[in-house]
């Protein structure tokens, strides 16, 4: 695995996702269109087991959700639990068939499956049906986290082993949706009752191997259900994180080397370089930064290439 180990950083404030408060269980409103406002996994129709009827946590079903992974807001057709109370522990996002889906954070593609045609409207081929999916490994606060993007249309846009980028940052410091590397188009493949995106996140990453449903990475796709200790819920935790854009950082640096953003960035990088968990590669980079750009000299101007390189090693800073 070529991902550099990264240490946890307590520096920048983290934008947190929706609170993990319990919300009253209520079945999603169902309409007859079988469209993106109702599409969920086929399991949603399986009989609920009492043991799986956990309290509903996170964003409630029916809420509109946003992400850098898609443009605009979409209906959450199922969240922590299905309408029947069965464990879901993922998001079923009501995206129209063919909606571009982008990586919400830097990462590496560790698995995928492609070539399955979208289901005919109203027809679900069942729980053994193959789907198109992508599995991406990210580093979130120094910890490896996998994201699983399922039911995609045929025509995956990435390859196994490919590095993917998160979104560009707007001038307001917020990520611009739809500007990260495109993974594919949302769809309705596999065990699915209608067009939707199934998005799960869990701790740990398999190593990238080969495409297809029979790979080391593919076998980890349901860790979030089978191994509760790997739960990393909700998926929004992957993109709700400190964000510093290299381009805007440089622009700010040109104006004033003492600006808040630059000072925050320096503090975080220096704290990380002192951490026991910082890799030798990272320490080398920081030494190079100090030498080349004069980190002790507020007039120093790190260039974009350097910051991008640094970004891969400080991903938990959200540097792009
Ligand atoms: Zn789902």
Structure confidence at residue 183 (pLDDT): 98
- Whether residue 272 sits in one domain with residue 154: no
- Whether residue 218 sits in one domain with residue 119: yes
- Whether residue 258 sits in one domain with residue 212: no
Domain annotation covers residue 83: yes
What does the alpha-carbon distance between residue 152 and residue 143 come to, in Å, rounded to a whole number?
27
State which of 203, 223, 239 marks the end of a domain.
239
Domain annotation covers residue 1: no
Q: How far is the CA of 140 from the centre of ligand 1 (A)?
A: 22
- Whether residue 249 sits in one domain with residue 119: no
pLDDT digits (tens, 9 = 90+) for 277-314: 666 766 777 777 667 666 655 555 566 666 666 665 55
Q: How far is the CA of 106 from the centre of ligand 1 (A)?
A: 23
State which of 183, 209, 239 marks the end of a domain.
239
- 151 with 186: CB under 8 angstroms? yes
Q: How far is the CA of 313 from the centre of ligand 1 (A)?
A: 32
Sign for the CA dihedral angle at 232, 235, 237, 242 comes to positive
Q: How far is the CA of 199 from the centre of ligand 1 (A)?
A: 7
Structure confidence at residue 133 (pLDDT): 98
Q: How far is the CA of 234 from the centre of ligand 1 (A)?
A: 13
Structure confidence at residue 307 (pLDDT): 67
Structure tokens that stand for 314 in this block: 């400080």
**279: containing domain:** 243-319
Q: How far is the CA of 50 from the centre of ligand 1 (A)?
A: 19
Q: How far is the CA of 97 from the centre of ligand 1 (A)?
A: 15
The stretches in the chain having pLDDT less than 50 are 1-34, 51-53, 316
Task: Please tell me whether residue 312 adopts helix, strand or coil conformation.
Answer: helix
Q: How far is CA 94 from CA 12, 82, 160, 180, 192, in A?
A: 33, 14, 26, 20, 12
- Whether residue 162 sits in one domain with residue 104: yes
Q: What residues contact residue 198 under an 8 Å CB cut-off, 6+ apart?
A: 41, 90, 91, 92, 93, 148, 149, 150, 151, 192
Query: Is residue 16 packed enough to be buried (19+ CB in 10 Å), middle (13-18) or exposed (0-12)?
Result: exposed
State which of 239, 254, 283 marks the end of a domain.
239
- Whether residue 79 sits in one domain with residue 223: yes
Q: How far is the CA of 78 from the centre of ligand 1 (A)?
A: 7
Sign for the CA dihedral angle at 117, 122, 123, 129 comes to positive
Structure confidence at residue 311 (pLDDT): 61
Query: Is residue 289 packed enough to be buried (19+ CB in 10 Å), middle (13-18) or exposed (0-12)?
Result: buried
Task: Tell the residue number behind the tokens 């946590």, with chain if given.
Answer: 57
pTM above 0.85?
no
Query: Is residue 146 packed enough to be buried (19+ CB in 10 Å), middle (13-18) or exposed (0-12)?
Result: buried
Q: How far is the CA of 225 from the centre of ligand 1 (A)?
A: 11
Q: How far is the CA of 181 from the centre of ligand 1 (A)?
A: 22
What does the alpha-carbon distance between residue 301 and residue 314 come to, in Å, rounded to a whole number?
18
pLDDT digits (tens, 9 = 90+) for 70-113: 999 999 999 998 877 788 999 999 999 999 999 999 899 999 99
Q: How far is the CA of 90 from the centre of ligand 1 (A)?
A: 6
Other beta carbons less than 10 A from residue 249's beta carbon: 21
């Amino acid at each position: 695995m070529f991902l550099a180990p990264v240490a946890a950083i307590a520096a920048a404030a983290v934008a947190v996702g929706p609170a993990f408060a319990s919300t009253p269980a209520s079945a999603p409103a169902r309409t007859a269109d079988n469209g993106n406002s109702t599409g969920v996994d086929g399991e949603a129709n399986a009989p609920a087991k009492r043991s799986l009827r956990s309290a509903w946590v996170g964003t409630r079903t029916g809420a509109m959700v946003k992400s850098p992974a898609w443009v605009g807001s979409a209906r959450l057709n199922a969240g922590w639990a299905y309408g029947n109370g069965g464990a879901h522990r993922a998001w079923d996002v009501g995206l129209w068939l063919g909606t571009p889906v982008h990586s919400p954070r830097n990462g590496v593609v560790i698995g995928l499956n492609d070539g399955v045609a979208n289901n005919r409207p109203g027809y679900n081929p069942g729980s053994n049906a193959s789907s198109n999916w992508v599995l991406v490994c990210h580093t979130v606060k120094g910890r490896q986290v996998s994201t699983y993007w399922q039911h995609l249309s045929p025509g995956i846009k990435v390859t196994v082993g490919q590095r993917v980028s998160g979104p560009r940052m707007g001038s307001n410091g917020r990520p611009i949706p739809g500007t990260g590397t495109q993974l594919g188009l949302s769809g309705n493949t596999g065990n699915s009752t209608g067009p939707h995106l199934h998005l799960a996140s869990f701790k740990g990453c398999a190593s990238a191997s080969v495409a297809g449903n029979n790979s080391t990475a593919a076998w980890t796709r349901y860790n979030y259900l089978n191994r509760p200790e790997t739960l990393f819920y909700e998926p929004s935790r992957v993109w709700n994180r400190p964000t510093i854009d290299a381009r805007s950082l440089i622009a700010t640096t040109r104006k004033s080397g003492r600006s808040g953003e630059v000072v925050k960035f320096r503090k975080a990088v220096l704290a990380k370089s002192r951490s026991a968990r910082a890799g030798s590669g990272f320490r080398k980079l920081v030494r190079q930064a100090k030498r080349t750009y004069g980190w002790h000299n507020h007039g120093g101007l790190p260039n974009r290439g350097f910051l991008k390189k640094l970004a891969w090693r400080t991903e938990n800073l959200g540097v792009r």
